Chain A
Amino acid sequence: MAFFQQRDFDFFQSINRELIDDFVETPVIIYKVDEKNTEKNLYGESVSGKSYQVGFQINALIARNDQTVEYDDFGSNSQQGIQFRFLRETLSDVSFKPWFGDIIQFNDAFFQIDNVIDNQLIAGNVDFSNSIIVDTHMTRRSKLNIDKLY
C-alpha cells in the first residue's frame, strides 16, 4: 500500500480550497475561446478576431510581475506578466481546463494565456495532480470582443 493515499490527497485539497477560496479569495474571470463562432483561415488562425464564451469567475493564486511601460514611435505600451495558479480540482468541478489563447480578466485588465503548466503531481502520481498554472501577458482590451452583458 502506498504511503500517500486518496485520503491524504483529499486532505490536501481541503487545505487548498480553504486557502484559495476562504483566505486569499482572489477572483478572476476566465473567457474561453469560442472556436465555433471564431472565423478561421486555412491555417486555423482567426480572421476577424476571436470570439469568447461567457466568462465565469473562479478563485486563483496570483504571482504578479510589476507593470512595465515601453515607449516607441506609436506611443506608450503598458505590459505586465502574471502567473495564475488554479487548484485543479476546482477547475474540474466546473469542467474547465484553460488553454492557450484563453483570456483571464483580473484587476480590470485582460491577460492572454501563453503557457499552461499541468505538472504538480503529488507524490509523483498522475492521479494526484494538484494544480494548473498558466503564464499570461497583458493584452489590449481593444483587441478583444469582450463586453459586459449587463
Chain B
Amino acid sequence: MATIPKWPGSGSVVSVSSSSTPYGFYDDDVQFQTDAPKIANWVARRLGYPITDVELQDLQIYACFEEAITEYGAQVHQFNIRQNMLKTQGSETGSSLNGTAINSGDIPSLIELAGDYGSEAGVGGSVDYEKGYIEVRQGKQVYDLLTDASSSLNPSSSQYGSGSASTPTSFIKGQSNIEIKFVYHDDIPASTAFYGLGGYAGYRNLIDDFGFTQYGYTNTGPGRYLMYPMYEDLLRMQAIEFFQEFRKSAYTFKLRNNQLTVFPVPDGKFKIWFDYIEKDDRSNIKNRSKTGVVSDYSNVPYNNLVYSEINDVGKQWIRKYTLALSKEVLGEIREKYSNIPIPGDQISLNGPSLRSEAQTEKDALIQQLRDNLEQTSRQKQVEMESDISDKMQQQLGRIPNKIYIG
C-alpha cells in the first residue's frame, strides 16, 4: 500500500532535535512542545477528522502553528514599533525590547529633531559656528570675503589652504561654501554696562546706603541687591542692547555674494567679525547620525515572542489562526488538481472553498487583532479616560445639590 498523505490521528512529539517546525523558533519551549500535538489534533477534528480524511500531516500543522505564533508576534510588535518609534530611535539595538514597558516621553527625540532649528537660530544643534574676521582699513569700504577674510581658527590645509591660527590666511578657496550668519564688530556685552551709567544707577549699594548691612545683608554678593522682579533686569539688559545696536554703532553693512560693503567709509582700522557655517556641515547628515542604534522600523529590537509567556487571549487567537492557515494548506492540496479521477469518472474537491474560507478567516483575525491593539494605544487610552471623565461629570451633575436652610 502506498504511503497515504493524511492525518494519522495524532501528532508526533515536538522537540528541538526532531526539527518539527521549519524555523524551530519555539521548539525548545516546553509549553510549545506540549501544545503542538494538541493543536494539531484540534485542527484535524475541526477539519472533519475522523469522519473525513484530512490530507494533512502533523508537520504541516506544526508549521502553521509556528507561523501563527510568529504572525501574532509580528502584529503585536508592529504596533509596538509604531507606538514607540520616536522613543526607540537612537537607542541601542543590542538588547531586545520584548516585554519592556516603555514609559518615557518623546521629548529626547523631539529635541534631537529640533536640533536643526537650533542650528539655524544659533542656539544649539549640530552645525559648528565658526568665526572669521576682516581687517578693516581706513578708507576701504568694500571687502571680498574670498580674499580679505581670515579665520580665527586653525583651518585644515586641505579645505582652506595653508593658513594657521597664528598666521591666518584667506580661508575661502572656493572649495567649501559658507553661509554668513552674523556680522559684528567690537560689541560691548550688555552685562558689562549693566551697572554703568544709565544702567543700574540708583540701585547699587542701596542697601548699604540705607544701613541695612548691619541686619545681615552684606555689601558683596546677593545680599547687596534689593529684591526686584526679574523682568526688571531683563528689560534693562534688552534696553542696553538695543541702545548699543541702534544708537551706539555707527556702522552698518551690506553683504552681496562675497562682497561686504561697510557703511560709512571707515575712518580707522578695526576688525569686523562674522560668524559663519559651512554649508556642507549643515547638509552632511553624518554629523547628526549615529550607527549601531535603532535607525528605523527595520532594526527596532523586537524579536519573536516567547510562546509560554503569551496569555490565553493571545493563545486563542493563535489557535484560530493556526486553523485558518491549516485550512488554507488543505485547500491548496485539494486544489492542486481541479478534478480527481475515480474509477470510471472524476470528482472535484472543496479546495477552492477551503482557501476562500481560510482567507476570510485570516483577514478577520488580523483585523480583529489590529483593532484591539489600536484600542490599547496611548492615544486611545487617553481619549477613553477623557470620555469617561466627561461622562462621569455629566452623571455627577445630575445629583441634586443639597439645599441648606439656615
Please give the residue numbers on chain A whose beta carbons come within 8 Å of chain B beta carbons, in ascending order.
6-20, 22, 60-61, 63, 83, 85-89, 93, 120, 122, 130-133
Whole-angstrom CA separation of A61 from B337 in the bound complex: 21
Q: Name the residue on B nearest A117 (C-beta).
A: B344
| 10 closest cross-chain pairs (CB), A and B | A131-B343, A85-B343, A10-B2, A85-B344, A18-B53, A14-B4, A15-B340, A133-B344, A130-B341, A61-B343
B residues at A contact (CB < 8 Å): 1-6, 52-53, 55, 333, 336-337, 340-345, 347, 349
Once the chains bind, are B333 and A11 in contact (CB under 8 Å)? Answer: yes
A66 to chain B, nearest CB (A): 18
- Whether B341 lies near A83 (C-beta < 8 A) is no
Q: How many whole Å from B235's CB to the nearest CB in chain A?
A: 90
For B340, the chain A residues whose CB sits under 8 A away are 12, 15-16
Determine if B2 and A133 form an interchain contact, defined as CB atoms under 8 angstroms apart. no
- CB contact under 8 A between A15 and B349, given known A10-B2, A89-B1, A93-B1: yes
| A86 with B52, Cβ < 8 A, contacts A9-B2, A11-B5 known | no
In the assembled complex, how far is the CB of residue B1 from the closest CB belonging to chain A, in whole angstroms? Answer: 6
B342 in complex: contacting residue of A7, A19, A132, CB < 8 Å? A19
Would B342 and A83 count as touching, CB distance under 8 A?
A: no
Interface centre among A8, A14, A22, A63 (most CB of B within 10 A): A14
Known: A11-B333, A14-B53, A15-B349. A89 touches B2 (CB 8 A): yes
Smallest CB–CB gap between B247 and chain A, Å? 95
The answer to whether B4 touches A16 (Cβ under 8 A) is no
Contacts of A89 on B, CB cut-off 8 Å? 1-2
Which residue from chain A places its CB closest to the CB of B53 in the assembled complex?
A: A18
CB contacts (< 8 Å) of B345 on chain A: these are 61, 85
Residues of B within 8 A of A120 (CB): 341, 343-344
Of the residues B4, B343, B347, contact of A87 by C-beta under 8 Å: B343
A20 to B340, CA, bound (A): 13
Alpha-carbon distance between A26 and B347 when the two chains are bound, in angstroms = 18
Say how far A68's CB is from chain B's closest CB, in angstroms.
22
B2 x A13 contact (CB < 8 A): yes
CB-CB under 8 A from B344, the residues of chain A are: 61, 63, 83, 85, 120, 131, 133
Q: 29 A-B residue contacts at CB 8 Å?
A: A7-B5, A8-B337, A9-B2, A10-B3, A10-B4, A13-B4, A14-B6, A15-B340, A15-B342, A15-B349, A16-B340, A16-B341, A16-B342, A19-B347, A22-B52, A61-B343, A61-B344, A61-B345, A85-B344, A86-B343, A87-B342, A87-B343, A89-B2, A120-B341, A120-B344, A130-B343, A131-B342, A132-B343, A133-B344
Specify which chain A residues have a CB less than 8 angstroms from the CB of B343 in the assembled complex: 16, 20, 60-61, 85-88, 120, 130-133
* Residues from chain B with Cβ under 8 Å of A22 in the complex: 52-53
Interfacial chain A residues near B6, Cβ < 8 Å: 14
Q: A11-B55, A14-B53, A18-B52 are in contact. Are A61 and B2 (CB under 8 A)?
A: no
Given contacts A12-B340, A14-B55, A15-B349, 16 further A-B contacts (CB under 8 A): A7-B5, A8-B337, A10-B3, A10-B4, A14-B4, A14-B6, A15-B342, A17-B4, A18-B53, A19-B342, A19-B347, A87-B342, A87-B343, A120-B341, A130-B341, A133-B343
- Most chain-B CB neighbours within 10 Å: which of A9, A17, A20, A86? A17
A7 to B55, CA, bound (A): 12
Shortest Cβ gap from B275 to chain A (Å): 74
Q: Tell me, rounded to whole Å, the shortest Cβ–Cβ distance linking B203 to chain A.
A: 100
**Docked pose: A139 CA to B5 CA in angstroms:** 41
Q: Is there an interface contact between A10 and B341, defined as CB atoms closer than 8 Å?
A: no
Whole-angstrom distance between the Cβ of A106 and the nearest chain B Cβ: 15
Q: How far is the CB of A116 from chain B (nearest CB, A)?
A: 13
